[in-house]
Amino acid sequence: MECTVRWTKPLDGEGMAFVATTGSGHMITMDGAPAAREGEPGGHDLAPRPMETVLAGTGGCTAYDVVYILRKGRQDVRDCSVRLRAERADSDPKVFTAIHMHFVVSGRGLDPAKVERAIALSHEKYCSASAMLAKTAGISTSFELVEA
């Protein structure tokens, strides 16, 4: 797996925006928050922060697993979303220290035990992103079912 990240120096010469080009040829734009103090590098707040993209990637990884596991288990899943809330360390490096993932799974006649098991399997076995983040962050999950 490869990725190239390039600084997209704006016309005014200021800012901390970057574009990542993935090995599969897709692009992700990232930007920093405006500078908190005079003289610090800051962004223009035009795209997600790099750590937000890490969190989003983790959500995508685990949601993919959950849908795949449920479909493989012949569950009639129609929709799945996951809301992630993270806390970060106060000092550098400001790693994630706690992450909560709340899944909303819609479908017909979904078995709550199978949904719970799919979420557990994702975190215990399949989701590489949450496995990495679990090295520094406590990860908790919850879910709700919506009949479609």
Asked if 82 and 62 count as a contact pair (C-beta separation under 8 A), the reply is yes
Q: What is the mean pLDDT of each successive set of 10 residues along the chain, which is 148 residues long?
A: 90 83 96 85 90 97 98 98 97 96 98 98 97 97 97
Q: Same structural domain for residues 33 and 100? A: no
Distance CA 148, CA 143 (A): 16
Query: Nearest CA to 51 among 122, 99, 108, 101?
Result: 99
Measure the N-to-C terminal CA separation of the chain; round to a whole number of Å.
37
* In a shared domain, residues 27 and 75: no
Are 128 and 57 in a shared domain?
yes
Residue 57 CB partners (closer than 8 Å, separation 6+):
129
pLDDT value at residue 12: 67
What per-residue confidence (pLDDT) applies to 77?
Answer: 98
Q: What is the pLDDT of residue 25?
A: 97
| 104 alpha carbon, distance to own chain's centre | 15
Whole-prediction pTM value?
0.90
d(CA 50, CA 29): 9
Claim to verify: residue 98 and residue 70 sit in the same structural domain: yes
In the chain, the number of structural domains is 2
Q: Tell me the residue range of the domain where 74 lies.
A: 50-147
Cα separation, 1 vs 84, whole angstroms: 25
